[in-house]
Amino acid sequence: GYSDLDGTRQIVILDMVYNMGGNFYKKWPKFTKYMQEGKFKLAANEILTSKYYKQTGRRAKNNIKLLLS
């Protein structure tokens, strides 16, 4: 879960919660699964191919960078 993530990846989750609401993960099952499994490249790809990415631009790009760091 969230507490198992390092601080950088927790920041990504917090930013996405701020932007999409506390239950966003329910609408992002693949992203959530990949994050839980530590498959951050796949999780980043879920962001890249989402409406969130198209709508937020720089914010989503920054989150992808953080996930991949």
Q: Following CA atoms 61, 5, 30, 40 in sequence, which dihedral angle do they give, to the nearest 10 degrees?
A: 50
pLDDT of the residue at 1: 84
Region 38-62: mean pLDDT is 96
3-6 LR contacts (CB < 8 Å, sep 24+): 5/35
pTM of the model: 0.92
pLDDT of the residue at 43: 98
Q: Is the pLDDT of residue 57 over 90?
A: no
Q: Positive or negative, the Cα torsion across 38, 41, 46, 50?
A: positive
Kindly state the tokens that stand for 61: 């790009």
Kindly state the tokens that stand for 51: 């409406």
Residue 60's Cβ-side half-sphere holds a number of Cα atoms within 13 Å equal to: 16
